Structure 1
Amino acid sequence: MTERTTIRRAKIVAIVVLVLLALGAGRTVLMRHTNAKALEAGTADYAKLYVKTARATVGAGGETVLLPGSLQGATQAPISSRASGYLKRWTKDIGSLVEKGDLLAEIESPEIDQQLSQAMAAREQAVASLGLAKSTVDRWEALRAKDVVAQQELDEKRSGYAQAQANLNAASANVERLRQLEGFKRVVAPFAGLVTRRNVDVGDLIDGGSGKPLFILTQADSLRVYVNVPQSYANLVKPGQKVGIMQPEMRGQSFEGIVARTAGSIDATTRTMQVEIALPNKGGVLMPGAYVQVSLPLQASRDIVISTNALIVRGDGVRVASVGAGGKVRLLPVKLGRNYGQSVEVTDGLAGSEELVLNPPDALADGDVVTVAKDAEKTDKGDKTGKGEKKA
């Protein structure tokens, strides 16, 4: 009895051990299968090429360009003298505000005074000669009526009278000319403005034909700003546009001007176009000649604009990687226009609706399949840059 019980117990123990071994083996096989599936899934996941994309857009808001400029008075003129002589006195100095017609200086010119006196005396002689010629003609006409003198002699007297009349006209014109020169001895302001330079002093010899300016007069309540716009922006600048003007020394202050006119042509040397901007300066805050910065908003461009980090520059030219259906990549050749720093204009090669790969890997080729990384995936995966996964 005891032997049977022992044998039975041994069989039970053996069966239990076999069952446990079978369970262990099954568990091992199951774990290996599960791990293989997980490894396969992980390997497939790591084999995907994750990229970040951005859509190409059509420029519609225009751009703003900051350009250097210089201020000038709306009207600026060198004030010279037509009369020669010596400077008798000046009445306005630099910084003086003057009105139109205000006296700036007087010139002492004895030669003109003497010439005027001589011309007036010559005119008096012409008046006397004309009176004598008129009396002579009257007498000879009376004699001719009595047939005392020949017609030829009367015609000669009439010709003398006409010559005397012409001499009087010439003498009067000479007097008027010298009187005008006398008026030029007074140098007056041709317009209201600011005296920005005085080049003469009392006693200086003034040569009326030299063209040397006595004063520089500038209209300071209205200014002009000249800027040279690069050729790439020239077609986008139009008269009537509003612009912002800033002077570096006046922090926080901005002034508004209007594009008055453009040169309409490109300078062959600098490849720029000159633009004139009208700027009111009622308070006289801005000074002519100052350096300013002009914020020039350009009219909207209809070209395609993409991020600069979407460009692929290789030996065969510039391309971008467009992601299509199923994540398939197409490398598209493009032509670039203006560079705005973080973005660039594409003039040819895109329609404006493409999804473009940002920071494309160097090995990216036409026909590759990529996966667009979502925010959640990027957060979970972190910065994986191994061979199996490339993140752009």
Structure 2
Amino acid sequence: MPPRGREWKRTKIVIVIVLVVLALGALRTVVSDIMQSHAVAATTQDNAKQYVSVVLPKQVEASGNTVLPGTLRGYVESPIYARATGYLLHWYVDIGARVKQGQLLADLDTPEIDQELAQAIAQRDQTGASLGLAKSSLARWQQLRQRDAVSQQELDERQSTYTQDVANLTAAEANVARLRQLESFKRITAPFTGVITQRNIDVGDLIDAGSGTSRALFALAQSDPLRINVQVPQAYAEGIAEGQTAIVTQAELQGRKFEGVITHVSGAIDVPTRSLEIEVRLPNPDGKLRPGAYVQVAVHGESRMRLMVPGNALLFRAEGPQVAVVDANGNVKLHTITIAQDLGQTLEITSGIAPTDRVIINPSDSVADGDHVEIAEPQKAAPANAASSKAASSTKGVS
């Protein structure tokens, strides 16, 4: 074969080899791109999945005692205002003083009222003198009329003057009585037996009458017995009745329990709070409990089964408290629940979920009805024997 023929054959072989290599490179690039796109799609799909942790509600028997917060109040509490305007001359009791009904608390100086009373007395005396003259004049004119010395018209005029003076005297006496009553309010006295909880005045203060814009002189509270107004959740309202015993405890008085009695029960459920208001009367003969203190009130009720869920499963929405539940298809359903009692880390639920519902814990704020989620597998703890073996081998290596 001529040399040129062999060279041409070799060239064709080289060209074929180059084309094959280029084709293999292109094929490899295409396959790599396809595999990479599949991997990206799989990663994107995997990242798009929303993994959640779920728990099943725990069914427990709720105790018959319902512990509720409350505030001690005096059985009778009243701010004491001045009825007369004047200056404070003296005060006789301070905060913490125990006073009896009618005891003098303070004295006021009321010069304006004193002058008005003196003027009213003078006007009453003047009206009385005028009435005396009108009475004697009427008697004389009646005698003259009997002798037909005066006309009936003149006698009627004297009778009218006398009647008017009688009415004027009655009005003057009423005005005097009013001012004397007002002057008696210079003495500020206790309306009932109790303890002084506030004193807002001092000697020389100008005291304004009334309770509209003026300040209270004192605040008085009856500390024995005390009363507590408690809001009982609707779920526990059926077991509440007057005469039931309530146990009161205060955190600062460890180990002490005070027994009270439910004396009043509201006849209706409060719509905004869905609770029933009750009043507990609590004897306090030794004065150990003080009005205004925060206490816990244990009210006895019927025992019943409740569902408990973690507190971090709760969602706050416009529809009220809710929890997110995952159905068999992995879709989210928001359930509106009724909370019987908030125990801090757990919630006692009366309605809205079932014992078999899978409740999402730590749900995101954006979770909504119909979202598809994946349930994350719970992390398994290392076996105890494996941990022991590891610790033993470590100890052996050290020795």
TM-score, normalised by the number of residues in structure 1? 0.63
The aligned counterpart of 1:138 is 139
Structure-2 separation of matches of 1:275 and 1:218: 20
Where does 1:172-251 land on structure 2 (aligned, <5 Å)? 172-209=173-210, 210-251=213-254
SS state at 2:93 partner:
coil
Where does 1:321-332 land on structure 2 (aligned, <5 Å)? none
The aligned counterpart of 2:169 is 168
Correspondence for 2:327 among 309, 315, 328: 315
The aligned counterpart of 1:256 is 259
Are 2:267 and 1:282 aligned? no
SS state at 2:239 partner:
coil
Structure-1 separation of matches of 2:339 and 2:252: 34
Are 2:113 and 1:101 aligned? no
SS state at 1:213 partner:
coil
Structure 1 residues 345 and 90: alpha-carbon distance in aligned structure 2, compared to 1, 3 A threshold: closer
The aligned counterpart of 1:267 is 270
Residue deviations 1:135-156 (CA, integer Å, cap 9, x gap): 0000000000000000111011
Residue 339 (structure 1) shift: 7.9
CA contact (8 A) 1:226 1:276 kept: yes
SS state at 1:197 partner:
strand
Q: What 5-or-longer segments of structure 2 have no aligned partner?
A: 1-58, 310-324, 330-336, 357-399
Structure-2 separation of matches of 1:339 and 1:100: 43
Sequence identity (%):
48
CA contact (8 A) 2:86 2:111 kept: yes
- Shift >4 Å, 4+ stretches: 306-309, 335-347
Q: What 5-or-longer segments of structure 1 have no aligned partner?
A: 1-55, 318-334, 348-355, 358-392
Name the count of aligned residue pairs. 272
The aligned counterpart of 2:91 is 90
CA contact (8 A) 1:306 1:343 kept: no
Residue deviations 1:142-195 (CA, integer Å, cap 9, x gap): 000000000111011011000000000000000000000110010000000000
Which has the larger displacement, 79-88 or 269-278? Answer: 269-278
TM-score, normalised by the number of residues in structure 2? 0.62
Residue deviations 1:169-227 (CA, integer Å, cap 9, x gap): 00000000000011001000000000000011000001103442100000011101122
Q: Which of the two has higher C-alpha Rg?
A: 1
Structure 1 residues 192 and 148: alpha-carbon distance in aligned structure 2, compared to 1, 3 A threshold: same
Residue deviations 1:223-268 (CA, integer Å, cap 9, x gap): 0112221121122221111010001011110000011112333333
Alignment root-mean-square deviation, CA: 3.2
Partner AA of 2:84 in structure 1: A
Structure-1 separation of matches of 2:220 and 2:239: 35
CA contact (8 A) 2:339 2:347 kept: no
Residue 346 (structure 1) shift: 8.6
SS state at 1:235 partner:
helix
Residue deviations 1:35-66 (CA, integer Å, cap 9, x gap): xxxxxxxxxxxxxxxxxxxxx99x8x971111
CA contact (8 A) 2:235 2:350 kept: no
The aligned counterpart of 1:122 is 123
Which has the larger displacement, 118-127 or 211-220? Answer: 211-220
